[in-house]
Structure 1
Amino acid sequence: MRLLLPTIALVCLCALSLGFGPPRITDSDVAVKWVTPQQFALISDLQEPSLTAAAYLMLNPATGQTIVAHNENARRAPASLTKLVTAMVALEHGELEQQLTISEQDLRVWTMVGLQVGESRSLHDLLHVLLIPSDNAAADAIARGLGGTEAVFVSWMNEWVEAAGLRNSHFTNAHGLDEEDNYTSAWDMAQIALRAESVPLLRQILSTADTVAADRRLVNTNEMLRSYRGAVGVKTGTEEQAGECLITLVERPQGDALTVVLGSTDRYADSTLLLDFFYANYSELYFELPDTPLNRYIDTNGNPHAFGLREPLTLVVPRWKMGTVSMVRRLSNPTASPSPDVPVGTLEIYLAGQPLLEVPLYAR
């Protein structure tokens, strides 16, 4: 018996030393999310392309969600991308059938289509000449004809970008030729392009590969309209300081994308690389909250109210992260008398556990 006591004590000591100690996380405490071979292949391929552009941006035109960006807020010379603002301001201050006469002053800059002194054209025709072959003299004729002087028209342009909240854009002329204090950014130009594309007439002009206007055949300088599937706009620009510039809008069943490249040495190759990267690696997710019990609340009087998004939402996510999207409905104002214009809460969308977007929820 005396011999057994040390043995029993040793066994007890060993038992006490097992399974006890400082708390720590083990595999059994954590839900493991395995990466599938397909996801791993997508992760390996998800390398942003290398571009020649000094600044560039790609975004979802429906939501403004940035997909790829580099120096997107850097101030750069705008070249003929300026003409998008010229067109927007012209529509605010002129009438489409208004006749404008070409002056000798307008021809101080190059005319791509051979505009002549004394020639009278409607603003409608001059907008086609301005945006399709990117005629500089048309820009000056519009500015002088509507503003009285180019300086007045340019002041309208700067008022327009300021009202739009574009802090990295300032213009000194209507055509975009290099001048000191004439600048924009990739981000600003994306917003300008989206606004221009929202105007039916400008969208139609910017999507036209070639046409006849002002008694001339006009060929669009934007080669993407002829070479990239789904391209529907928007504008080219080239100057010594600006380099090659291009904004491209592509619409496909798989999703839409807007790209801006500034200061490029090969704008078409750069834009194609961005767009190919998007269509190879990203997908759209469609969000809509139907009228189900999950999308209703009970007010303090016991009455039910359905809630949802004002309109369906489309987001772009990397394909390998598609399975990591989650959302939380957070009600902050479950009122008994909801107003159609006052949110009752927010829908929080998460990607791989990180906040992606918040959108307001409205009672139906």
Structure 2
Amino acid sequence: MTVGTLTQRAVALAGGTLLALSPLTAQAATPSQPEPQPTLAAKGATLVDDTSGNTLFAKDADTARPIASTAKIMAASVVLDTTGVDLERQVPVQQEYRDYVTQHGSSTADLQTGDKVTVRQLLYATLLPSGADAAYALADTFGSGATSAERTTSFIAKMNTKAGELHLPHTEFTSFDGGGADSSTPTELAELAQHAMKNDTFRTIVKTKEYKGEAPAANGRTRYYTWTNTNQLLGSYDGVIGIKTGTTTPAGDCLVFAATRNGKTLVGTLLNSTDRYADAAKLLDYGFGSSTAKSMKLRALPTHAQRD
């Protein structure tokens, strides 16, 4: 056998070996299957990558539904977006703010009539214990008109104007606290949350588990307030930085949430869920590629804390 023939046979054998290996090589190069999307209890939901703006998950995300107290995100945004807003401005607490809570059975910050609380404190009181009395105070302070009815109507109009500016055509507000027929879609509510989270003060407030502060009382003494954040996802799921709960009979349990891990921020919304915190943990696991939802233990709220 000549050298040339041996060379040809060697090449043929090598080629055969390569051919035999190539199916295995192709199999190893096949990309892994994507994680299955989570099954949620919520009727409407979305999850968005805050940096890219890409929607990672959507369930009936463009259907408008009642949003309960998550409407207070917009109330806070209207205040914080006000040009030259003075967060240390003192606002006297009116009896009608307390009466509103009683009449509507709303969650409350238990503001005491005659106390002078700052705008900053009112934002904490609105967003942590979801105080309708505090939301009323903000609307009465930042609306226009001769009477509180005119001012609150004006403030609600500002909320709707802001929705238009943010290009949220399916978002509508009929109250300053989410106690009316306020509605939005999961998609638009996430867009509102992304806008709100651009404000440093808003971000600081909604990631706070508990606020303690004091205010001049009507009797000349000092009133001490403690407000606990109703969002139990805070302190329960690693990386959560807010945002707001909401519950009414028409809306069911709602939640707007955000979390950051390894420089990646996700923003999500859940409307009408029977298990909103488990839903949120499932979505965040899906977005982060983690598996901590099953072992999550919810942060317990003090017995005196508001539920929303």
TM-score band w.r.t. shorter chain: 0.7 to 0.9
TM-score after normalising by structure 1: 0.64
Q: Choose between structure 1 and 2: higher helix proportion.
A: 2
* Distance in 2, Cα, partners of 1:281 & 1:71: 24
Find out whether 1:58 has 2:47 as its counterpart: yes
Cα distance in structure 2, aligned partners of 1:103 and 1:172: 22
Kindly tell me: are residues 52 and 111 of structure 1, through their superposed partners in 2, closer, same or farther at Cα, counting changes over 3 Å? closer
Q: Which residue number corresponds to residue 170 of structure 1?
A: 172
Aligned to 1:102: 93
The answer for the alignment partner of 2:152 in structure 1 is 150
- Aligned to 2:173, the other structure's residue is in SS state coil
Structural mapping, 1:106-145, within 5 Å: 106-107=97-98, 108-109=100-101, 110=106, 112-145=108-141
- Matched residues, percent identical? 29
Alpha-carbon spacing, 1:227–1:170, altered in 2? closer, same or farther (3 Å): same
Cα displacement (A) at 1:212: 0.8
Distance in structure 2 (CA, Å) of the matches to 1:38 and 1:254: 29
Structure 1 vs Structure 2 CA RMSD: 2.1
Secondary structure in structure 2 of the residue aligned to 1:225: coil
Structure 1 runs, 4 residues or longer, greater than 6 Å off: none
Q: Is the 8 A contact 1:76 1:184 kept in 2?
A: yes
The residue correspondences of 1:311-322 to structure 2 (distance < 5 A) are none
> Which of 267, 274, 292 pairs up with 2:276?
267
Question: Which amino acid in the other structure matches residue 39 of structure 1?
Answer: P
Distance 1:35 1:231 in 2: 39
Structure 1, unmatched stretches of 5+, are: 1-32, 283-364
Instruction: Give distance in 2, aligned partners of 1:263 and 1:124.
Output: 30
Q: Distance in 1 between matches of 2:266 and 2:112?
A: 39
Structure 1 residues 189, 35: closer, same or farther in 2, change over 3 A? Answer: farther
**Alpha-carbon distance between aligned partners in 2 of 1:252 and 1:76, rounded to the nearest angstrom:** 30
More strand by share: 1
Q: Deviations over 1:149-204 (max 9, x none)?
A: 21000001100010110011010111101x33x21111111111111111001100
Distance in structure 1 (CA, Å) of the matches to 2:191 and 2:278: 23
Q: Which residue of 2 aligns with 1:211?
A: 211
1:36 equivalent among 25, 28, 31:
28
Runs of 5+ in structure 2 lacking a partner?
Answer: 1-24, 145-150, 215-223, 292-308
Q: The residue matched to 2:65 in structure 1 has which SS?
A: coil
- Residues 1:160 and 2:162 are matched in the alignment: yes
Quote the offset at 1:105 in angstroms: 2.0
- Cα distance change, pair 253–89 in 1 and its aligned pair in 2 (3 A): same
Q: Is the contact between residue 186 and residue 262 of structure 1 (CA under 8 Å) also seen in structure 2?
A: yes
1:256 to 256, 262, 265: 265
CA distance in 2, matches of 1:82, 1:63: 25
Q: Aligned in 2, Cα 1:241/1:37: closer, same or farther, shift over 3 Å?
A: farther
SS at match of 1:224: coil
Counterpart of 1:227, as a letter, is: S
TM-score, scaled to structure 2:
0.75
The alpha carbon displacement at 1:61 in A equals: 0.5
Q: Which has the larger radius of gyration?
A: 1
Pairing partner for 1:75 from 39, 44, 64: 64
Aligned equivalents of 1:231, 1:193: Cα separation in 2: 14
